[in-house]
Amino acid sequence: MIIKNNNSKFITLEGIDGAGKSTHLNWLSDHLRRQGKNVLVTREPGGTPLGEALREILLHQAMHLETEALLMFAARREHLDKVIVPALQEGTWVISDRFTDASFAYQGGGRGLNETKLETLEVWVQQDLQPDLTLLFDVPTEVSQQRLSKNTSLDRFEQEKQDFFQRVRDAYLKRAAQFPERIRVIDSGRTLAEIQTDLEHVFSSL
């Protein structure tokens, strides 16, 4: 069992590519720091030197879908050991730009990998540790595709077609319905101000 400090929270941000997650991540970390919290911002795949090396491979090299899932979880194992768990144990708030819900959405929903295999990896790598709160930034794929089309250098995932992102989005929404206590769906088609008001509300009750 992974024991964490009572003062810390583990928050993850999720959503399809082009949902606006990065903008909200910056605002959120500033907001929490203004409230005097010790905040560590990290990301997946990545977050450690080995994890960042795996990220380069994952984002740019073609591979079997199971290899992709195994490398995502390998990077996550390292991330938990070197960054996430030590920070949570010392009372730091950890905000991770993506975590295991992304594996269920992209490798499971997007690529079609069997959910039981993902659940096995999840238990192996993180035991009983789950985020305290997951913000799922949700937009229709037409909106995200339009945002991505303005980007000139797209990685291996971002180059996928709209039907891939539709499956990823559906898998995320299925996770949200499965874990309503943990996952909050944030309608990302609204203005920044509206979303920030919503986030302030979510965090005041955390």
In the block, residue with structure tokens 């949700």: 138
Of these, 10, 12, 20, 44, which contacts ligand TYD (CB under 6 A)?
Answer: 44
Binding mask 164-203 for ligand TYD (x = CB under 6 A): ----------------------------------------
- Least Å from the CB of residue 105 to ligand TYD: 7
Q: Is 45 in the site for ligand TYD (CB under 6 A)?
A: yes
* Strand spans (E) along 132-204: 133-138, 183-187
Specify whether the CB–CB gap between 145 and 18 falls below 8 A: yes
Of these, 5, 7, 22, 35, which contacts ligand TYD (CB under 6 A)?
Answer: 22
Token pair of 112 as six digits: 């079609």
* Strand spans (E) along 45-170: 93-97, 133-138
In the block, residue with structure tokens 């909050």: 184
Contacts with ligand TYD: how many residues (CB under 6 A)?
12
> Within 13 Å and on the Cβ side, how many CA atoms surround 55?
14
Specify whether the CB–CB gap between 43 and 132 falls below 8 A: no
- Least Å from the CB of residue 69 to ligand TYD: 8
- Least Å from the CB of residue 168 to ligand TYD: 8
* Residues 6 or more apart in contact with residue 56 via CB below 8 angstroms: none
In the block, residue with structure tokens 């073609």: 62
Of these, 157, 170, 199, 202, which contacts ligand TYD (CB under 6 A)?
Answer: 157
In the block, residue with structure tokens 């499956």: 167
Name which of residues 90 to 119 contact ligand TYD (CB under 6 A). 97-98, 102-103, 106-107
Of these, 25, 72, 95, 125, which contacts ligand TYD (CB under 6 A)?
Answer: 72
Q: Which residues bind ligand TYD (CB under 6 A)?
A: 17, 22, 44-45, 72, 97-98, 102-103, 106-107, 157
